[in-house]
């Protein structure tokens, strides 16, 4: 279940940042709740995909999958706050994939 928490936090962080378009002074509990739904859906979806397979074979595949699942979750959970319907979700997915890369690199350096 650690993987669900990791992916939740990666998607949650990216979603919070994108929803407020980088202005962290306007964060509210409503933003946190919405980001929590996106994070939970991403975490569970990632966990389910690892149950059907061994999981991503590389760091890049894991980051790609995290980004795609975060984008899909973001589209499903709430409407966009800027641009086309997919634009905020794309930025959120890109942010989650970037956080995933950094997260995993730091985790591997500790091992």
**pLDDT for res 59:** 85
**pLDDT for res 111:** 58
**CA proximity to 15, closest of 64, 59, 85, 67:** 67
| pTM for this model (two decimals) | 0.87
Q: Provide the residue-wise pLDDT of the chain in tens; the chain has 111 residues.
A: 889 999 999 999 999 998 888 888 898 999 999 999 999 999 999 999 988 877 677 888 889 999 999 999 999 998 887 778 888 899 999 999 999 999 888 877 665
Integer Cα distance of 82 and 86 in angstroms: 9
| Structure tokens given for 33 | 């709740």
Contact 81, 19 (CB under 8 A): yes
Integer Cα distance of 70 and 14 in angstroms: 9
| Structure tokens given for 64 | 């790609």
Contact 98, 13 (CB under 8 A): no
């Amino acid at each position: 279940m650690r993987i669900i928490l990791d992916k939740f936090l990666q998607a949650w962080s990216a979603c919070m940042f994108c929803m407020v378009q980088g202005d962290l002074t306007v964060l509210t509990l409503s933003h946190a709740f919405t980001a929590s739904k996106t994070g939970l859906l991403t975490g569970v979806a990632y966990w389910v995909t690892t149950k059907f397979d061994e999981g991503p074979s590389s760091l890049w595949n894991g980051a790609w999958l995290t980004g795609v699942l975060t984008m899909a979750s973001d589209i499903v959970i709430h409407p966009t706050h800027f641009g086309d319907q997919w634009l905020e979700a794309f930025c959120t997915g890109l942010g989650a994939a970037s956080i995933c890369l950094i997260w995993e690199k730091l985790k591997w350096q500790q091992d």
